[in-house]
Amino acid sequence: MSSVLDPKVVLVTGASSGIGRATALALSKAGAAVAVGGRRTDRLEALAQEAPGEILVLDMDVSDPESVRKAVDRTVERFGTLGHLLGPSCPVLAHDTACPSHPTTPFRS
């Protein structure tokens, strides 16, 4: 039976605090390989030390489409795939134009 986390690679933006941080920790505890992005890399490094699983720390600015593209590319380079991208504070992620090499599929419940 497949999991909602298949494939188990997730990029979480805004992961240096709040909901993003809690989500990244929960995903790591659930067995996902997690890439965390944000501007406060010192906090992301601390998160990586606390998380039980593999964490890729990415210096990224969600208001900059090129920064988002690079984060997606680095995640795919490191883990071989990207299953999920969680970015509630990321306006760039609302459009496939942010990462044309890795098009998104809108989530429908």
pLDDT interval class at 96 (50, 70, 90): very low
20: Cβ contacts below 8 Å, ≥ 6 apart = 12, 13, 14, 36, 38, 86, 88, 89
pLDDT value at residue 72: 92
- Among residues of the chain, what percentage have pLDDT more than 70? 73
pLDDT interval class at 1 (50, 70, 90): very low
Residue at 17: amino acid letter: S
- Quick check: 97 pLDDT over 90? no
Per-residue pLDDT tens for 18-65?
A: 889 999 999 999 999 999 999 999 999 999 999 999 999 999 988 888
Average pLDDT over all residues of the chain:
81
CA atoms within 13 A on the CB side of 104: 18
How buried is residue 7: exposed, middle or buried, by Cβ count under 10 Å (0-12/13-18/19+)? middle
Per DSSP, helices labelled H in the chain are 18-29, 41-50, 65-79
| Distant-in-sequence contacts of 99-106, Cβ < 8 A, 24+ apart | 99/68, 99/69, 99/72, 101/69, 101/72, 101/73, 102/72, 102/73, 102/76
pLDDT interval class at 109 (50, 70, 90): very low
